[in-house]
Amino acid sequence: MLSKAHPRYESLVLRDKIVKASKEGLLADSAMIAHGRGEAFDYLLGEKTTIPAKRAMYVTVALMILSKNPVISVNGNTTALAIDEIIEFAKAVDAKIEINLFYRTDKRVDKLTQLYKDHGYPEILGSNDDDIMYINEIKNPRASASKTGIYSADTILVPLEDGDRAEILSKSGKNIITIDLNPLSRTSKMSDVSIVDNVVRAIPFMTKIADDLKSQDKELLKGMIKDFDNKTNLEESLNSFKIKEDIQ
Amino acid sequence: MLSKAHPRYESLVLRDKIVKASKEGLLADSAMIAHGRGEAFDYLLGEKTTIPAKRAMYVTVALMILSKNPVISVNGNTTALAIDEIIEFAKAVDAKIEINLFYRTDKRVDKLTQLYKDHGYPEILGSNDDDIMYINEIKNPRASASKTGIYSADTILVPLEDGDRAEILSKSGKNIITIDLNPLSRTSKMSDVSIVDNVVRAIPFMTKIADDLKSQDKELLKGMIKDFDNKTNLEESLNSFKIKEDIQ
């Protein structure tokens, strides 16, 4: 049993969730390694949501509210860490959820589909191979997408996305939003909006602000989006890392 | 198949080694997550051995040469990443190797013992429960050590060590040397010498310099050790991280 008094309690709870999901076959082989990279960056960030991340989240929610077909792309890691929070956010901004795996196997897709059903979300996309199309007709598993989901979406939120896939998505003309703790990653650099934060903090924060933003004038939301510069915001996120603080 | 042209080829080769070792049952449940944290720090370090790390390695080799009973502590991750390099280094500085697992199970100890035998090193310590003693008589698995190895050692090299265990070791009065890519970790802070580098680069570097240092006057080696300040060196290591460079 973990003690709540442990200085790294929250981080260890997430680690346990990932280990458990791995044992249950929900994750790709190297998904735990990816989680570890995230842990390191979150550690350097002080495991807190920064102001630049919150700025990016306001823009994200505004974009999703204004979009015709916003889609949230999920994989094993995001599901293991925040399935209920994702479902709640999707409902708050009227977005679809699509299972989109970098290393797609039928077994993992089936397990994830079942998990979303068990959590009260049977309308998950991407669980059926017949529905698969290819973005910009690139015949590459990296470009696969569900026809009524990512393929026809105008805005996609892709938390914890692989760099190769992010590159294909960024060329699609859609609005690409990522949640990635590494501000230097290809995914962060290639997205239109990059939220440098942990998904378990970011998703509930966005659900919380969605109610307010939905009630605001659309011109206000458009203004937020217009004023946002992702490169500047990424630099501000980068400045939040504590790697150069003195060793005490 | 990985392409050697991939910008992150070396890192991906190591990742594959860890995934393979995990499938073979050599690693603890969360060992892949620990590897991922290391990947992130190495990435921020530019995946290069820094001058401060080399300084710490000269001191390490000097310490091991001057010690009566130097021991290298190994776990699943270090073994998976650098078993042959560790054996070679142990021979170069006349050190023992001891299997010391944070999450010790008979099965993992047996598999690792067999692996060292297969790689031409049957004299591995820590593979027999009868041999186990407790440092400072602390009756805690974190304090366990082989009687003729870590328990009676004057100098211990512990690559990739857990913070709890490092704390116990640091109170033992022995010289504690670590190899840890995180300069802010408890292990790095509590060790007498902290090498902020990837084990796969550090171990061969130390083997290479051992031949030269063994031929030098012992007073020179003592001087190197006396002049070394680990806190200053850690601060210099920290300054090598590129997290605050601009995003291009």
Question: What is the pLDDT confidence band of residue A2, given thresholds at 50, 70 and 90?
Answer: low
Interface of A with B (CB under 8 A): 15, 18-19, 23, 29-30, 32-41, 43-44, 182-184, 189, 231, 234-235, 238-239, 241, 243-244, 246-247
For the stretch B136-150, pLDDT in tens is: 888 877 788 899 999
Average pLDDT along chain A:
92
Q: Under an 8 A CB cutoff, do A38 and B36 touch?
A: yes
In SS3 terms, B131-187 reads as: HEEEHHHCCCHHHEEECCCHHHCCEEEEECCCHHHHHHHHCCCCEEEEECCCCCCHH
Question: What is the pLDDT confidence band of residue B247, given thresholds at 50, 70 and 90?
Answer: low
What confidence score (pLDDT) does residue A1 get? 59
Distance CA B57, CA B66 (A): 14
Across the range B74-84, mean pLDDT stands at: 96
Using a CB-CB distance cutoff of 8 angstroms, which residues of chain B are in contact with residue A43? 37, 184
Residue B237 has pLDDT above 70, yes or no: yes
Using a CB-CB distance cutoff of 8 angstroms, which residues of chain B are in contact with residue A243? 44, 184, 238, 241, 243-244
For the purposes of burial, counting CB atoms within 10 Å of the CB of B139, is it exposed (0-12), middle (13-18) or buried (19 or more)?
Answer: exposed
Reported ipTM: 0.84
Q: Under an 8 A CB cutoff, do A40 and B40 touch?
A: yes
Annotated binding-site members of B for ATP: 15, 37, 180-182, 186-187, 198-199
For the stretch B200-221, pLDDT in tens is: 999 999 999 999 999 999 999 9
Question: What is the pLDDT confidence band of residue A48, given thresholds at 50, 70 and 90?
Answer: very high
Q: Under an 8 A CB cutoff, do B18 and A40 touch?
A: no
For the stretch B148-188, pLDDT in tens is: 999 999 999 999 888 888 888 989 999 999 999 999 999 99
Distance from CA of A34 to the nearest CA of B (A): 6
What are the residue ranges spanned by the domains of chain B? 51-238
Across the range A46-69, mean pLDDT stands at: 97
Question: What is the pLDDT confidence band of residue B31, given thresholds at 50, 70 and 90?
Answer: very high
Give, in words, the CATH class of B51-238: alpha beta
What confidence score (pLDDT) does residue B1 get? 59
